[in-house]
Amino acid sequence: MPTEDFIIELFCQVDDKMLNATKHSQATLFPSEVVTLALLFALKGRGHRAFYRWLINNWLHFFPQLPHRTRLFRLFNTHRSWVEHFMAGPSLIGVIDSYGIELIHPRREGRSPKQIGKKGLSNQWWIVGGKLCLLLNHLGLVVGWDVDTANVYDGSAFQHLVEAVAKDMLVFADPILPNRAGIRLI
């Protein structure tokens, strides 16, 4: 599928889900455009500057009211609650697991005052970074997610994801998540 067709299809699917989101009177982009651009940024997997350059050079005709790079990424951050429109519903069974994201090598820990993330264990490896936890339904669609630093214990940091769907869903997890509040974890 050509990139142009993919962007159009992505925008149409996003726009169908964002019916209740209204545009601010001073905004230059509609909510569907902001979410489409944020999804493209996540899918592209590049840095802020490289993504913005790619957008300006190739796709400015799709988004003619594109704000400056820093403003665009502030929009992504302030409107991240719109992600909830795209979450799948809980089903009878589901799976939860966390994944470590190593940002720097553990030997380089503490060398920079701007270090992001902390040192912790992930899959029996020491990493310096964070953890991404996903709760999936039986179709593999994301029901809930959360992030935290790598030094947190999965059982306490991500338990709230399971508690939110405990009445609707039987959640399978690694054995390190404790059984709290009568939640059945296998």
Question: Hey, where are the domains in the chain?
Answer: 3-86, 93-172
Q: What is the pLDDT of residue 76?
A: 85
What pLDDT, on a 0 to 100 scale, did the predictor assign at position 123? 67
Is this prediction's pTM over 0.75? no
Residue 103: its pLDDT value, please?
A: 80
pLDDT of residue 180: 53
The whole-number pLDDT of residue 136 equals 92
> Which distant-in-sequence residues (6+ apart) come within 8 Å of 150 by Cβ?
100, 101, 102, 117, 118, 119, 120, 121, 122, 127, 128, 129, 130, 131
Half-sphere exposure for 14 (CA within 13 Å, toward CB): 19
What is the model's pLDDT at position 85? 76
Write down the pLDDT at residue 177: 46
Tokens encoding 11 = 């925008």
Using DSSP, state whether 177 is helix, strand or coil. Answer: coil
Whole-number Å distance between alpha carbons of 39 and 28 = 18
Q: What integer pLDDT is reported at residue 95 of this predicted model?
A: 92
Distance CA 15, CA 139 (A): 23
Average pLDDT per block of 10 residues along the chain, 186 residues long: 86 83 78 86 82 89 88 85 80 89 78 77 78 89 86 84 90 67 51
